[in-house]
Amino acid sequence: MRILLILAGLALSLAAASQEIWRWVDKNGVVHYSDQPGAANAVLMTVIEPNAYEGEAATPDSGASGSSSQEPEEEASTVSPYDSLSIVQPPPDEVFFGSDASVSVQADLQGTLRPDHSVVFFLNGNRRPASGLGMELSGLARGTYFLRASILDQNGDPVITSQQTTFHVRQASIKNPQQPVAARPQVPRPRLTPRPATPPANTSGN
């Protein structure tokens, strides 16, 4: 009799520790859970109550406090100290003529540049030396160039990067790129002198 009571108590405890839940996905891809099947494709799931695992979690407070103390540090490391970084010179799609054209590049940084950070520019993916927030480009061949700016930390990792801008270099003459196209000489047009009016013929016979 005592064994039967013990077995009955175990059965009740197991029944209380588990719960049947139905899971299905609607036509919009939304997952639903309920104690009753809400669709034809509902799947029966058995969920174990958390109290069945109370003995395994020896120090839940220490684990929770450890994760919470690390998360703010990770978030703080990914937050940029700058509001924005953009290239204001040259304007997008500006065209420069001649192989001796000088292109002035200037970036605008919203925020104070930290001493351990540096400004770099990338022209067609190649790093170019910069002086503060600007630089000068010269001796560029004919073509299209892609320019962007970045703020790098002490490890060389980008902190913030501007949007890419584009400018173009065109030669004055394709046959002779070092010389501009000569203007055609203007030939003066002859001035037309009006002819004197011819008096009408005398038909009266006098």
- Are the CB atoms for 106 and 180 separated by under 8 Å? no
Q: Angle CA(167)–CA(157)–CA(162) in degrees, nearest 5? A: 30
Measure the CA–CA gap between 136 and 58, rounded to whole angstroms: 64
What does the alpha-carbon distance between residue 75 and residue 175 come to, in Å, rounded to a whole number? 57
Domain boundaries, the chain: 16-53, 84-170
Q: What is the pLDDT of residues 66-123, one digit of tens each?
A: 444 454 454 445 577 899 999 999 999 999 998 788 899 999 999 999 999 999 999 9
Q: For 27-139, where are the alpha helices, taking DSSP H only?
A: 60-78
Residue 139, both tokens:
């001796």
Q: How far apart are CA 159 and CA 179, in angstroms?
A: 44
Q: Which CATH homologous superfamily contains domain 84-170?
A: Immunoglobulins (2.60.40.10)
- Predicted confidence (pLDDT) per residue in 177-192, tens digit: 554 445 555 666 666 6
Give the span between the Cα atoms of 153 and 159, in whole angstroms: 6
**pTM for the predicted model, two decimal places:** 0.47
